Amino acid sequence: MTIRINNVNLNIDESQDILKKKVASELKILEEDIIGYKIIRESIDARKKDNIKFNYSIEIKCNGEKKILKHAKCKDAKLEEDEMHEDIVHGNKKMNFRPIVIGFGPAGIFSALTLAREGYRPIVFERGEDVDNRTKTVESFWKGKSDLNLESNVQFGEGGAGAFSDGKLTTRIKDKRCTFVLEELVKAGAPEEITYIGKPHVGTDILKDVVKNIREEIKALGGEVHFNSKLERINVKDGKIQSIKVNGNEISCEVLILSIGHSSRDTYTMLHNEGIFMESKAFAIGVRIEHPQELINVSQYGKFANHPRLKAADYKLTYQSVKNNRGIYSFCMCPGGIVVAAASEENRLVSNGMSYHARDLENANSALVVTVGSKDFEGNSPLSGMEFQRHYESLAYNLGGGKYKAPVQLVGDFLKGEKSKKIGSVNPSYTAGFELREINECLPSYVVDTLKEGIVKFDTKIKGYAMNDAILTGIETRTSAPVRISRNEKLESISTKGLYPAGEGAGFAGGIISAAVDGIKVAEKIINEYK
């Protein structure tokens, strides 16, 4: 058993080193009575800008926990049962061929790791490059030294799309596997703080090494990981998967985890043509908005902005448009980061945000997106949302003048409906160059109107949000998958036995942690059924 004590507060100038002393005082014991000590949660309480505090939940081990709690009478302390690790129950069904995992983003990585640890020796096929070569490819594209690589880019390759974002590890799902994922990331080289800070992130620079370390463990356990290996076809007979084709080679297969990511449009098309059941799904589109990071710091932390205990501030904003009855919200907010060229198809433009671990660059950026759904798409095809994305990405590409330059507009000019003539105090950070254009020319009118309404509303929450010189960069379309590949209670495709859609690309996750957890759950279902 352990004692968990909540609401242990530190003033902004107090060190974590005194936490143990504070806990001992609250429980009316000596520090030396504490034989085990762990920070479970750290959050920042910035509601009072002149008195910012750090709030902690602490877990301790000591002798006589029940007696200590009875004596202390501390309302914030309670007894916690030790969490027992539950072994995964293996099934009895014979597996004739090794399980195959398509895609090596979070869902693919953690499904493969789970299978490998249970002795199933998975084979992974990833269409993109390993993370080191992928990084070189992406940076060369950003600098204009090479063409867009359609198979290895910001969307495709080892680590998935999250490898070129911020490595944000926040999630809204409540699942004990979330803790497991965080602990595994730490074992693989991520900072230990991600297991307890309120809004954990790894950073693109560190995440790359973490991914490589997990890959090497999978291989050491008998798994295989193949890069530059594209799934070209799934062969189905009598509603059951028979084989797949990868790089022209046919491979027998009876268990296939499909963790393809939200941008695998050619794969969606192939699956649809093969009769795999899927449905169109709502998502959101919009722009990237950039402000000086200093503005966000001051707004969130007041006089304590840039205090050494505080990192670059972030924000989360939501609003329901009165005029259009649509939601608008910030998404994938990157403090001290940059806006990156994230295209994965020729002549279509996509932007995304990215931060390194230090989050120490001059601008804060975030997606600012508006919800869209089936009523906005043309036709009834499950792929209609995907075609909707493509249409506006093509408009954005042409508006930027080609070569993946992004259309950029100052917020003040956007609100007035005027073309920007020159950049002001905020420098656009988009990695492939930009052209001053009117953003409304590459977005639906209802999205433009909702963006304007939302920006004005958000300025009442963050003073300066609607500042004239803030930058809008077009366009953000890949907030989530435009389809859902429907599955049953066994997490298996409802139309194809042996096919297990997983993660964000299948429509069942919305970030690194939730995708990883979904990958684990799918792997567990396979283990439950097969020897």
Query: In Å, how far from its chain's centre is CA 229?
Result: 24
What is the rounded average pLDDT of the residues 263-286?
97
**DSSP 8-state symbol, 276:** -
Kindly report the CATH number assigned to the domain that includes residue 126.
Answer: 3.50.50.60
Q: Which of 476, 493, 513 is the last residue of a domain?
A: 476
What is the rounded average pLDDT of the residues 297-316?
94
Do 74 and 208 have their domain in common?
A: no
Q: Which of 61-75, 127-141, 287-301, 410-424 has the lowest mean pLDDT?
A: 61-75
Do 424 and 495 have their domain in common?
A: no
Q: What is the pLDDT of residue 335?
A: 95
Residue 85 placed within a domain: no
pLDDT digits (tens, 9 = 90+) for 410-423: 999 999 999 999 99
- Share of residues in the chain with pLDDT > 90 (%): 92
E strands of 62-138, at which residues? 77-80, 100-102, 123-125
Residue 332 placed within a domain: yes
Residue 227 placed within a domain: yes
Cα distances (angstroms) measured from residue 288 to each of 326, 370, 420: 18, 12, 16
pLDDT digits (tens, 9 = 90+) for 103-142: 999 999 999 999 999 999 999 999 999 999 999 999 999 9
Kindly report the CATH number assigned to the domain that includes residue 11.
Answer: 3.30.70.2700
Q: What is the pLDDT of residue 189?
A: 94
Q: Global pTM?
A: 0.94
pLDDT digits (tens, 9 = 90+) for 481-501: 999 999 999 999 999 999 999
Do 400 and 503 have their domain in common?
A: no
Do 182 and 210 have their domain in common?
A: yes
Q: How many CB atoms lie within 10 A of CB 248?
A: 8
Q: How many domains does the chain have?
A: 3
pLDDT band at residue 166 using 50, 70 and 90 as cut-offs: low
Residue 424 placed within a domain: yes
Do 339 and 373 have their domain in common?
A: yes
Q: Which domain holds residue 377?
A: 282-476
Residue 88 placed within a domain: no
Copy the structure tokens of residue 153. Answer: 């880019």
What is the rounded average pLDDT of the residues 21-46?
94
Residue 132's closest CA among 208, 43, 27, 40? Answer: 208
Residue 286's closest CA among 325, 231, 326? Answer: 326
Q: What is the pLDDT of residue 172?
A: 73
Do 234 and 246 have their domain in common?
A: yes
